[in-house]
Amino acid sequence: MKQLTRRSFLRGASKLCLGLAGAAALGGCAAKVVEVERVVEKEVTKIVTEIVRETIVVEPTPQVVEKSVETKVEKVITVTPAPQPKVTLIADVTNSSWTHFAMLVTPTFEEMFPNLTIRWRRLSNWDEYPARIKVSQVSGQLGDLLEAPPGALLIQWAEGEIIQSLDDIIRNDGFDTSGILGGVLRAFRYQDKQMGLPFIGSAGENLLLYNKNPFDEQGIDYPDLSWSLDDLVEAADALTMRGSDGRVGRFGYAIRYRLPDAYPMLHLFDAHLISADGQTSSVDGQNGVECLRWAHDLIHVAQVSPSLSQIEGGLLEMFCDGKLAMLRHDLGSLIDLGRALPDAQEVGSVLYPKHPSTGRVGASASGMAYCIGRNTELPYEAFRWLKFMASREMGVQMFLGGYAPPGCRAASWEDPRVVDLFPVCAQVADGADMAEPPRLPSNLRVQECQDIWNREIGPLWLGEVTPEECAANIADQVNRVLVLPPDRSV
């Protein structure tokens, strides 16, 4: 396969739709349709087909030995198996970049399994997708294949018997799930049942992005995996540049604490917005207050991070303009920055620093999974597609084509073709393996709880409340939401 240059890859990869956490809440950025150059499509299909042909196992033709008692002669009769009837799998999925990749590699799948064909029924945007699935269920026309992010939607589909557990299928098939990122796989479990098999994995915004120029100017070593939050604060202080009038010309670091993007930071401090049983808020506990105090002090005590009034245009814009040395973000932003920054300002990346006392890693397990419709008559045939898309090569090709992150397997994220372009991907795999999904309210009012957090964080950023007061305000309002009836609107 012709090697993609870094520049051509970035042109395609900048179109990635990596807002999986937003998709999990069915809000934020919607999944995007991505068009790629025909040459890329041909190359993807070519390499996938070649790999499949090299790895497919051809079973020997069965033989029947017929014995004749009278003549005591044995003869071998070759029996040609009867051709399997061709069946069609109906896919009810979203109009997303990864769906267009799936459609691209469908011919390879059908070549691999000649008795199976996939019919991609009407594709839907995220805002209409859940409602369409409900209508299909009521009308008895639900497809064999569905897709879902972890969280409220997956739970509602499991409770509403729209999708089925995969545990018996996985066990009977003998499918080995050990290579799939552990945190991502667990994110698709409900009541200890596997309700979906991921084909995309995400650890949330768990990268520390940094401009190399400020580090070079100050003679400071670039961040590495040995860093803790203490090292981050020390470097942020050294990289913050103030003029003679006290105005900050460059901030060392930027705080980003809006949900769902802030979940990795909460997990880093072992803090949670919701209790383990989903009945109350736990953000006003010791760990939650510590998490908020760390952010508050960087803005109002150390003054190395911009307050709301000091943000000019946006944090990514400040980063590109050299007014910000470091910030926490995700792989998609790293790809975009590599394209947007001028050549003189190179951007580096590393897994976000660990907690100095506990060694915890900041990550939030998310992604996208294929599920099997509850009433399908073809569960094992549908599972073949799930396994196909959860393979190492599918993850690599999705990424190289600019369709999605590098799949759901550590082997995909650590593949030399991926790491050669973005070495930090190998580190992300470790973080995603240990990640956990955000805890959900028992009544599934996720968006309302997140809105409270995002609204009450503002006064903390402005210095109008203490971390303790902020945590108490959030907990009080979230607890009022948690006593409301379950939300079935998703």
- All domains of the chain in start order, with CATH: 6-49+83-203+366-434 (3.40.190.10), 207-254+305-362 (3.40.190.10)
How confident is the model at residue 299, as a pLDDT?
A: 96
How many angstroms separate the CA atoms of 134 and 141, rounded?
10
**In whole angstroms, how far apart are CA 486 and each of 137, 160, 447?**
21, 13, 13
> What whole-number distance in Å separates Cα of residue 51 and Cα of residue 59?
18
d(CA 14, CA 220): 30
pLDDT score of 32: 38
SS (HEC) of the chain = CCCCCHHHHHHHHCCCCCCHHHHHCCCCCCCCCCCCCHHHHHHHHHHHHHHHHHHCCCCCCCEEEEECCCCCCEEEEECCCCCCCCEEEEEECECCHHHHHHHHHHHHHHHHCCCEEEEECCCECCCCHHHHHHHHHHCCCCCCEEEECCCHHHHHHHHCCCECCCHHHHHHHCCCCCCECHHHHHHCEECCEECCEEEEEECCCCEEEEEHHHHHHHCCCCCCCCCEHHHHHHHHHHHCEECCCCCEEEECCECCCCCCCCHHHHHHCCCCCECCCCCCECCCCHHHHHHHHHHHHHHHCCCCCCCHHHCCCCHHHHHHCCCECEEEECHHHHHHHHHHCCCCCCEEEEECCECCCCCCCCCECEEEEEEEECCCCCHHHHHHHHHHHCCHHHHHHHHHCCCCCCCCEHHHHCCHHHHCCCCHHHHHHHHHHHCECCCCCCCCCHHHHHHHHHHHHHHHHCCCCCHHHHHHHHHHHHHHHHCCCCCCCC
Rounded to whole angstroms, the Cα distance separating 148 from 166 reads: 14
Q: What is the pLDDT of residues 192-224, one digit of tens each?
A: 999 999 999 999 999 999 999 999 999 999 999
Query: Residues in the chain with pLDDT < 50?
Result: 1-42, 45, 52-73
What is the model's pLDDT at position 41? Answer: 44
User: In the prediction, which pLDDT does 48 show?
Assistant: 55
Q: With pLDDT > 70 as the criterion, what percentage of the chain qualifies?
A: 82
Neighbour order of strands in the sheet with 207-211: 326-329, 207-211, 347-351
The pLDDT assigned to 357 comes to 95
Tell me what pLDDT residue 42 has: 47
> Strand pairing of 74-78 and 241-242?
unpaired
Contact present, 428 and 421 (Cβ < 8 Å) = no
Residue 391 has what pLDDT?
A: 97
